[in-house]
């Protein structure tokens, strides 16, 4: 008998077959590679017990002049600022009615209230706050009506329904006395239209909100019937935010009362002159501090057109978010790109801004007057898969295209990827705009969350260790991410049933207080020689370092799988528990091919599954030839 040492190559390789990848790892979940060895990723825990509504798509952290930390959260329904443990709704208002424009109608025995407001402009799911309403005469009191509601259903251009509730959120049912209409002083303050949680590729049936038009009618794609994405940046201590293909808004943090003050249109700033009213993305340039709008509406005569120009870039005067009219006395200006059909995304990099269209990449650098910015075509043929798919890292900018992964450090380079076919064959292309790129610089990682095939919710990720060149894959739902910096740990968001949670990542070893299950790494097949002979594996000497907080009770499973031909399915030969005190594992495997798997002990006791962290080193196995049949 002889012990053979198995140190598998770092990184997951799915480009070939699990047999051709002899000596490598083939599959994993919730595993990273560090210093060439696989280990379980860090855990996560709620940042706060408070929640927000809907799916977060963008996070931005900044501080004010008093070093108060803020976190901006752009979500499908609303925009929030988090300070301390609280989420404050600063969603801009779309319109506020005149007194008496809104009336109510209730039905005895029903909690559904019909609201009438001529040309309300709302879509199903919008939020409106009523004030000045009088009781309807019965259980639907003034307190019931004068609060924020989410629109249940838009029934026509002049009416919609809500579900009556008390101030605790409990449903209120009208009685026979609720025959009033709320009086002549009702005011409705409508927040900007909500967006969708899925990307809509074209117009036509299914593109609009149910009930918004006749069956089969075409509906133009707008910010309100498209995947809701936000871009945001701080201008000094203030915040600028932009709904993709929607309005641009400003929030003056020093003049605001969180919980009361809302963001306002950029056009409403004092001294605003020809500010864009709509754009695909907005950011603030590095050092020179120009506000830049990508896909902005151009100037026509003495006003903006109000329509997205998908290849048009406009920027403000330097240090002045209000002045956008290009004059000889300022640095405001504009430029239209030519390669591609629309701007997908942009990112601020070191002394330049990188811009991607659907087919090309540009850089934009401050050069001073009279042109202000120089815009250069860097690469034609490589685009960006989604607006949030580019990531700035200490080693350059990384991004995901529709066909591969790339990096930019002054020039564009293709990144060899050992899981490329696996990712792009599994990716739901129709939801590419949901792809979210992320950085975890503590572990030299850049990655992308994406929707798997035939899914409309993010469920998987792919990660690249840019120092070691190793790729890993797995399953995790995070709709947005922010690396550590202003906050001490990476932050990630997850939403279920329209309730959103903010998590601290790389915290402990567990999944928000519960054991992290379905953690595994599995090797490709190994055999003896050319695979002609059977091999007999009688013993495993584990080399697993337990790094978690669970002490000596930490447990993983060591699994051996087998098959005789590459075309056969792997079957489990043995599953053995392994702890820090396990010296050897006795096995009886006889097959031409075998695979090794290290996995979490999902069926074990709570004590053995909690606080588990592990790192796999050089596993040794007692392997000997055992005949040809």
Beta-bridge mates of residue 503: 46, 492
27 domain residue, yes or no: yes
pTM for this model (two decimals): 0.94
* Statement to judge: residues 122 and 23 lie in one domain: no
Of 165, 191, 217, the residue that ends a domain is 191
- Between CA 532 and CA 568 the distance in angstroms is 16
- Between CA 352 and CA 566 the distance in angstroms is 50
563 domain residue, yes or no: yes
Given this model, what pLDDT does residue 219 score? 47
Beta-bridge mates of residue 595: 561
* Statement to judge: residues 541 and 607 lie in one domain: yes
Of 191, 210, 231, the residue that ends a domain is 191
Q: Of the candidates 498, 281, 269, 525, which has an alpha carbon nearest to the alpha carbon of residue 388?
A: 281
* Statement to judge: residues 526 and 618 lie in one domain: yes
Of 170, 191, 212, the residue that ends a domain is 191
- Between CA 409 and CA 395 the distance in angstroms is 8
Given this model, what pLDDT does residue 532 score? 78
- Between CA 502 and CA 85 the distance in angstroms is 10
In the DSSP assignment, the letter for residue 231 is E
566 domain residue, yes or no: yes
Given this model, what pLDDT does residue 213 score? 45
278 domain residue, yes or no: no
Given this model, what pLDDT does residue 2 score? 79
204 domain residue, yes or no: no
* Statement to judge: residues 104 and 30 lie in one domain: no
| CATH number for position 521 | 2.60.120
State both tokens at 520. 């595994």
Contact 439/393 with Cβ under 8 angstroms?
yes
380 domain residue, yes or no: no
Chain centre distance of CA 249: 21
* Statement to judge: residues 28 and 112 lie in one domain: no
* Statement to judge: residues 33 and 134 lie in one domain: no
Given this model, what pLDDT does residue 18 score? 87
Tokens 């030969």, located at residue: 573
* Statement to judge: residues 20 and 108 lie in one domain: no
The residues, any chain, with a CB within 8 Å of residue 46's CB and separated by 6 or more, are: 501, 502, 503, 504, 512
* Positions in the chain whose pLDDT score sits under 70: 1, 202-221, 531, 629
Q: CA dist 156 to 107, 145, 187, Å?
A: 19, 21, 19
State both tokens at 529. 């020689």
Please write the tens of the pLDDT for every residue from 255-305: 999 999 999 999 999 999 999 999 999 999 988 999 999 999 999 999 999
| CATH number for position 113 | 2.40.30.20
Q: CA dist 291 to 223, 284, 320, 606, Å?
A: 21, 4, 8, 52
| Total domains present in the chain | 2
Mean pLDDT (the chain, rounded): 94
287 domain residue, yes or no: no
Edge-to-edge strand list for the sheet holding 360-368: 343-349, 352-357, 360-368, 372-380
* Statement to judge: residues 532 and 614 lie in one domain: yes
Strands of 382-498 (E only): list them. Answer: 390-393, 396-400, 405-408, 412-414, 436-440, 445-450, 460-465, 470-475, 480-482, 491-496
Q: CA dist 510 to 402, 442, 460, 503, 506, Å?
A: 34, 19, 19, 12, 10
Range of the domain at 173: 95-191
Contact 164/144 with Cβ under 8 angstroms?
yes
Given this model, what pLDDT does residue 529 score? 77
Contact 73/59 with Cβ under 8 angstroms?
yes
456 domain residue, yes or no: no
State both tokens at 136. 């309807």
């Amino acid at each position: 008998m002889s012990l053979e040492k198995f140190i598998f190559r770092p990184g997951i390789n799915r480009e070939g077959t699990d047999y051709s990848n002899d000596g490598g790892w083939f599959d994993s979940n919730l595993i990273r590679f560090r210093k060439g060895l696989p280990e379980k990723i860090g855990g996560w825990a709620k940042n706060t017990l408070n929640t927000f509504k809907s799916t977060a798509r963008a996070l931005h952290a900044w501080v004010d002049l008093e070093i108060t930390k803020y976190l901006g959260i752009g979500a499908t329904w609303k925009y929030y600022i988090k300070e301390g443990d609280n989420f404050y709704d600063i969603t801009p208002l779309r319109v506020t009615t005149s007194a008496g424009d809104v009336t109510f109608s209730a039905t005895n025995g029903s909690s559904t209230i019909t609201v009438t407001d001529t040309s309300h402009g709302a879509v199903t799911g919008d939020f409106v706050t009523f004030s000045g309403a009088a009781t309807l005469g019965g259980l639907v009191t003034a307190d019931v009506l004068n609060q924020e509601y989410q629109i249940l259903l838009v029934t026509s251009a002049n009416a919609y329904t809500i579900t009556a509730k008390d101030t605790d959120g409990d449903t209120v049912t009208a009685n026979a006395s609720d025959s009033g209409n709320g009086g002549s002083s009702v005011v409705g303050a409508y927040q900007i239209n909500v967006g969708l949680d899925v990307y809509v590729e074209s117009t036509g049936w299914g593109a609009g909100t149910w009930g918004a038009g006749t069956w089969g009618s075409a509906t133009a794609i707008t910010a309100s019937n498209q995947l809701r994405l936000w871009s945001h940046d701080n201008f000094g201590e203030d915040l600028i935010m932009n709904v993709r293909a929607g309005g641009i808004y400003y929030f003056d943090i020093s003049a605001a009362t969180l919980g009361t003050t809302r963001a306002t249109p950029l056009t409403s700033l004092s001294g605003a002159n020809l500010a864009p009213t709509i754009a695909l993305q907005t950011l603030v340039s590095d050092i020179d501090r120009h506000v830049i709008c990508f896909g902005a509406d151009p100037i026509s005569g003495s006003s903006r057109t109000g329509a997205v120009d998908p290849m048009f870039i406009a920027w403000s005067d330097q240090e002045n978010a209000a002045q956008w009219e290009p004059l000889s006395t300022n640095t405001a200006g504009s430029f239209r790109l030519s390669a591609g059909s629309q701007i997908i995304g942009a990112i601020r990099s070191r002394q330049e801004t990188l811009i991607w269209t659907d087919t090309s990449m540009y850089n934009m650098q401050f050069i001073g007057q009279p042109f202000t910015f120089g815009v250069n075509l860097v690469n034609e043929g490589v685009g960006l898969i989604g607006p949030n798919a580019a990531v700035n890292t200490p080693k350059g900018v990384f991004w995901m295209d529709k066909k591969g992964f790339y990096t930019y450090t002054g020039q564009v380079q293709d990144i060899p990827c050992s899981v490329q076919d696996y990712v792009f064959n599994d990716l739901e292309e129709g939801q590419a705009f949901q792809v979210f790129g992320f950085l975890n610089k503590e572990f030299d990682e850049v990655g992308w969350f994406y929707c798997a095939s035939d899914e409309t919710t993010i469920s998987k990720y792919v990660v690249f260790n840019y120092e070691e060149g190793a790729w890993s894959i797995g399953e995790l739902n995070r709709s947005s991410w922010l690396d550590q910096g202003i906050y001490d740990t990476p932050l990630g968001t997850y939403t279920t049933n329209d309730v959103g949670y903010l998590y601290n990542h790389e915290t402990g070893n567990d999944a928000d207080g519960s054991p992290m299950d379905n953690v595994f790494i599995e090797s490709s097949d190994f055999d003896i020689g050319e695979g002609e002979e059977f091999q007999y594996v009688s013993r495993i000497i584990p080399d697993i370092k337990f790094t978690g907080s669970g002490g000596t009770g930490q447990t993983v499973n060591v699994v051996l799988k087998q098959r005789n031909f590459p075309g056969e399915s792997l079957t489990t030969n043995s599953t053995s528990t392994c702890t820090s005190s396990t010296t050897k594992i006795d096995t009886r495997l006889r097959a031409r091919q075998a695979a090794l798997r290290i996995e979490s002990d999902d069926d074990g006791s709570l004590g053995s599954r909690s606080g588990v962290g592990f790192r796999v080193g050089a596993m040794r196995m007692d392997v000997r030839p055992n005949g040809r049949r």
